[in-house]
Amino acid sequence: MIEARGLTFGFPREVEVLRDVHLAVADEVVALTGPSGSGKSTLLLCLAGILVPSSGTVTVAGHSFEGLDLEGRSRVRREHLGLVFQFSELIAELTLAQNVALPLELLGASSREASRRAIALMEELGIAELSSRYPAQVSGGQAQRAAVARGLVHEPAVILADEPTGALDSTTGAVVLDLLLGAARRRGAAVVMATHDRALAASADRIVDLGSLSMPVHGASEASATR
Ligand SMILES: Nc1ncnc2c1ncn2[C@@H]1O[C@H](COP(=O)(O)OP(=O)(O)OP(=O)(O)O)[C@@H](O)[C@H]1O
């Protein structure tokens, strides 16, 4: 459902962070691991079409980012990807339900339909009773559950998650990760999740270790340790 072929990327005046990386993820959970600076976030940003690689292609649910302008890449991202970050990055002025409904409204759903689907998913994730609260009025774990709901509400083919529980204590983090992976698996969505936490990586179907490749440039191919 998401495939990177020959992906090479370097920030200006930096050595290449990614070189000739290949990654293909179907309906499975892949954990991207590796030490700090090994390029996990950079790879996720390339997979999301936010960073544009100097060479190589990314295809999401059959749609390539290649040759698309900013708006074209945003459209592919809105329609086919769900993003979940370390800090929930909810919009402070919107209630949790409004935050969760937003991706559907951006795709043209009526506010009534978007709200109905947002609340149904919030029920699944155990936060429906918080739907009219603002992000500042809930705990970090509750906010992160809302961020998970926002990432899933439009039923994307692929969820990209960057340290999705990194800001939470380990118990809360484990609960949130279970909810994220459970909801994604029930929908048959692919998940690519960056984490440096081995315990969290063990929940994945497959581990791709960027750090096992030669530093500072990462060589080709799907790396290493699989379960
Ligand atoms: N905006 C940027 N401009 C220049 N260099 C950057 C930028 N963002 C990241 N880098 C560099 O790219 C490399 C990879 O960073 P990246 O954030 O992808 O690593 P990571 O594996 O996600 O690290 P962490 O586990 O600490 O989040 C690092 O050397 C970093 O310094």
pLDDT tens, position by position, 179-225: 999 999 999 999 999 998 888 899 999 999 987 653 444 444 454 33
Average pLDDT of the residues in 99-103: 97
Angle of helix 111-124 relative to helix 96-106, nearest 10 degrees, comes to 130
Q: Is the ipTM of this complex over 0.90?
A: yes
Residues 6+ apart with CB under 8 A from 66: 57, 58
Local structure of residue 133 (DSSP, 8 states): S
**Which residue intervals of the chain are DSSP H helices?**
40-47, 70-80, 96-106, 111-124, 140-152, 170-186, 198-201
Give dist(CA 68, CA 132) in Å, integer.
Answer: 38
- Residue percentage of the chain with pLDDT more than 90: 79
Average pLDDT, rounded, for the chain: 90
Q: What is the DSSP annotation of 100-119?
A: HHHHHHHTT--HHHHHHHHH
Phi and psi based region of residue 64 (left: phi greater than 0; alpha: psi -120 to 50; beta: remaining): beta
Flag whether pLDDT at 156 surpasses 90: yes
State the pLDDT at residue 213.
53
Going from the Cα of 188 to the center of ligand 1, the distance in angstroms, rounded, reads 30
Judged by DSSP in three states, 221 sits in: coil
- Block residue for tokens 């996990």: 40
Q: Are strands 55-60 and 2-10 parallel, antiparallel or unpaired?
A: antiparallel
Q: Which atom of ligand 1 is nearest to the CA of 43?
A: 18
Strand order in 63-64's β-sheet?
16-25, 2-10, 55-60, 63-64
Local structure of residue 9 (DSSP, 8 states): E
Going from the Cα of 18 to the center of ligand 1, the distance in angstroms, rounded, reads 11
pLDDT tens, position by position, 20-48: 999 999 999 999 999 988 999 999 999 99
Pocket of ligand 1 (CB under 6 A): 11, 14, 17, 34, 36-42, 194, 196
Going from the Cα of 186 to the center of ligand 1, the distance in angstroms, rounded, reads 32
Give dist(CA 146, CA 98) in Å, integer.
Answer: 10
The pTM for the full model equals: 0.91
CA-closest candidate to residue 51, choices 90, 88, 4: 4
Going from the Cα of 43 to the center of ligand 1, the distance in angstroms, rounded, reads 10
Which mutation among 40, 44, 54, 217 tests ligand 1's pocket best, with the greatest number of atoms within 8 A of CB? 40
State the pLDDT at residue 109.
96
pLDDT tens, position by position, 41-85: 999 999 999 999 999 999 999 999 999 999 999 999 999 999 999
Give dist(CA 15, CA 10) in Å, integer.
Answer: 6
